[in-house]
Structure 1
């Protein structure tokens, strides 16, 4: 009877806020302990240990866990099945497990509380399963890996922290040798000299945030925050900047990013990045000619070549979301945690084999309007706004370089 009364109190308190998801409400189970004490007349185990016993009782309630899934089932997967489930190859997962084992994040768990910690391999597999499956809720993942929801939350937090520790060495500007390789790739395949990569932005769809709702409604009328990414010819990220609300224009995001401040460092020794018309044309960031209906043949050809080079960044965003399908629509509520999770997925993207995407489910459509966003905006016509360039200020020196590249491209085609 006491357990039933406790459960009734917990469930009533967990979901009294209609904006709370089941997963995130369950993470806060320990905070309900005082409410239990206030409402129950029966004696309950005293102190923190007693509350923990209650929490564990509730988390086990109606769970159908998969026993020894990592230990007995995962080793039986074929290589293709393993990649399909965990989104990365076994060798990469094993390497990440070894790296994680040697971190202070994991070592601090050893001998703590007298229990056996979740293994490094299980940490990695849990995180990959969670971010790799669009419908994977905390409860579903907890059942599959036989973890309580509070434990699962801690496992995901540790993995995010671990991957963010790796980020500076995995997502970084190219070396001089790497710059030369990238330049040669674009020169020989596209005819453009000195290209170091491309930069663009993508939107990460989210549920309606608790604060500043309007700011997160983007031009396609759904809630999102922005991710700016710069990639090389291999579609690997060399810089990411994540977290600006969806309504902010790409040019403003770029102007406030570390990449904008560090362009001289990235392009030192010669070279430039490519960006679409939303960005300002400058010596280190070349954009296409604006089509005002009077472009020359050479300018149109330049724009086509520019687009064929820049498409690598769009492909990178597509591959990132296709592999880590939670990024099609993040259901978490904590903005900081969502930004960190996306950053962690970018690290994994750079470590993954980009040729294994044929194993995964096809890309999803993630830019449909949100009826709640329409309600807030008072929109009657549901058609999203058209793309806008934002009229960024082009620098004369950037325009001069673009004209020279256009001239060289025409000359190269005629030789």
Structure 2
């Protein structure tokens, strides 16, 4: 049954009272006067706005100033995803950025903005909702939270070239020498990862719908032996195949700018095999014998798993990347999502030394048949065959 407001009920009661009075009154002139008075009363009531007293939502800095400040490093890291020492390092890196010097609108302290951003990066689900974060940090929920996050992202992106950079020719030579007895001339490991979105984008949602039935954005990354990210390419919607993402990235278009003669990177079989990208053998390959191919693929995977581990640790550290709560209504929303992902990759490299080292297990691998249907063509490649013979000779396969 519909709920009747107090104002409507009052008007109804006055109308009933006026009708009853008219019945009991014999003088028609008096009746007209009473009805006129009742209409005036109703008009006054209708013109009044029934407002509820505004209640200020209490804001408290208690958790941020007292509770968080009293936590040991383990608890501090649980909430902000970085150690107290790393928090100080990051703060010093971004403190002088112009985004925090704007005087058009008063800002909360920079360290508090950083704490809010780190908390948002590190949480997903309802815990990362703007209202919850605002209550936790004692700030308004009318825009303070997301403005803080945007400022921190902008400042972090300014650090990208310092923290996500391809090794120089000299550094690649050092890597090459260190890999001589393992995977000769291998410089790094490449793969793609889907960053799931919490909700369907309003703009072209079909293009974001990936093979795992999620809406997502593609992150392509290359890491080195220490699992440091040395290259990222973010932005293609989730339905795009890894091979197409790669072919449109700078490293895919111009590998000669990244790799010297004979150098290569390792990828899974979603990528086309070339002299610059070596992949494992597919199940329909007839090169060598089955035992040799399996031996090669297993050995190859023990190194390629480093990029899978990198993605795993990245998402466990910054859990917002498991299901990103960024609404994509237009190009601006897509841009914010991509910048958010990039900022988390930059932070990952900054705090890499403080992160727990993962175990390199098979849990990180995706289903190869799902990614690479067995009807794909089989290609031969001199670089892969060179590595293949190196491996089978090393283990006497």
TM over 0.5: yes
Answering whether residue 370 of structure 2 is matched by residue 386 of structure 1, we say yes
Q: Conserved in 1, the CA contact under 8 Å of 2:280 and 2:300? A: yes
Shift of 1:267: 0.8
Answering whether residue 390 of structure 2 is matched by residue 408 of structure 1, we say yes
| Mapping of residues 11-410 of structure 1, within 5 Å | 63-109=57-103, 112=104, 115=106, 117-134=107-124, 135-149=127-141, 150-188=143-181, 191-206=182-197, 207-268=199-260, 270-292=262-284, 294=286, 295-296=288-289, 297-333=291-327, 334-353=333-352, 356-357=355-356, 386-389=370-373, 399-410=381-392
Q: Conserved in 1, the CA contact under 8 Å of 2:284 and 2:378? A: no
The secondary structure found in structure 2 opposite 1:157 is helix
The secondary structure found in structure 1 opposite 2:188 is strand
Gap runs ≥5 in structure 1: 1-39, 43-56, 368-384
Stretch moving more, 300-309 or 172-181? 172-181
Taking the aligned partners of 1:258 and 1:41, their CA distance within structure 2 comes to: 65
Gap runs ≥5 in structure 2: 1-46, 328-332
Shift of 1:71: 3.0
RMSD between superposed Cα atoms in Å: 3.0
Taking the aligned partners of 1:167 and 1:320, their CA distance within structure 2 comes to: 16
Taking the aligned partners of 1:79 and 1:220, their CA distance within structure 2 comes to: 37
Q: Conserved in 2, the CA contact under 8 Å of 1:282 and 1:395? A: no
- Aligned match of 2:25: none
Taking the aligned partners of 2:227 and 2:357, their CA distance within structure 1 comes to: 16
Residue-by-residue CA offset, 1:248-301 (whole Å, 9 max, x unaligned): 111011111122123212112541101111111111111112222645233322
Shift of 1:391: 7.5
The secondary structure found in structure 1 opposite 2:370 is coil
Q: How many residues align?
A: 331
Stretch moving more, 264-273 or 232-241? 264-273
Q: Conserved in 1, the CA contact under 8 Å of 2:195 and 2:216? A: yes
Taking the aligned partners of 1:356 and 1:176, their CA distance within structure 2 comes to: 28
Shift of 1:357: 3.9
- In structure 2, the CA distance between the partners of 1:218 and 1:328, relative to structure 1 (3 Å rule), is same
Taking the aligned partners of 1:389 and 1:166, their CA distance within structure 2 comes to: 40
Shift of 1:108: 2.5
Residue-by-residue CA offset, 1:168-213 (whole Å, 9 max, x unaligned): 221110123432443345445xx21111111111111111111212
Q: TM-score, normalised by structure 1?
A: 0.72
Taking the aligned partners of 1:166 and 1:410, their CA distance within structure 2 comes to: 43
Larger Rg: 2
Taking the aligned partners of 1:79 and 1:214, their CA distance within structure 2 comes to: 43
